[in-house]
């Protein structure tokens, strides 16, 4: 069975600073990997996903993530954070595309200081 670990429960960064959110996964084969963002009281919005190919994935809102098989990681990065990026971020891993539910990490709450 797959699992996801997001080691950081809460991160605070200053507006304009760079950001890296960590995600480690456990899965026997090459997984499908996702990053979602959730604002309070809202559903989940897909930031980016990785299936195969180029290990550096570009997403929406200026986010990118890099798949590192050797480290079982899929960390999310943004070079310059905006106040509107404050939200909850979830990393997820999937298998059997479309047939089985994603397994989510516990989430990282991002706070942005002015």
Partner 1 sequence: GAVVSQHPSWVICKSGTSVKIECRSLDFQATTMFWYRQFPKQSLMLMATSNEGSKATYEQGVEKDKFLINHASLTLSTLTVTSAHPEDSSFYICSASERQGDYGYTFGSGTRLTVV
Among 28, 53, 99, 114, binds partner 1 (CB under 8 A): 99
Q: What's the Cα-to-Cα distance from 27 to each of 16, 34, 85, 95, rounded to whole Å?
A: 35, 14, 29, 9
Among 28, 41, 53, 114, binds partner 1 (CB under 8 A): 41
Q: Is 1 in the site for partner 1 (CB under 8 A)?
A: no
Binding site for partner 1 (CB under 8 A): 34, 36, 41-46, 90, 92, 94, 97-102, 104-107, 109
């Amino acid at each position: 069975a797959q699992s996801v670990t997001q080691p950081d429960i809460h991160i605070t960064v200053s507006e304009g600073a760079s950001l890296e959110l960590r995600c480690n996964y456990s899965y026997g084969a090459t997984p499908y990997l996702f990053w979602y963002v959730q604002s309070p009281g809202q559903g989940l919005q897909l930031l980016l996903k990785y299936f195969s190919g180029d290990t550096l994935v570009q997403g929406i809102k200026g986010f990118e993530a890099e798949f590192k098989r050797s480290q079982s990681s899929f960390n999310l990065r943004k070079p310059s954070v905006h106040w509107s990026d404050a939200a909850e971020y979830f990393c997820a891993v999937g298998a059997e595309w479309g047939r089985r539910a994603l397994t989510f990490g516990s989430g990282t709450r991002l706070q942005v200081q002015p």
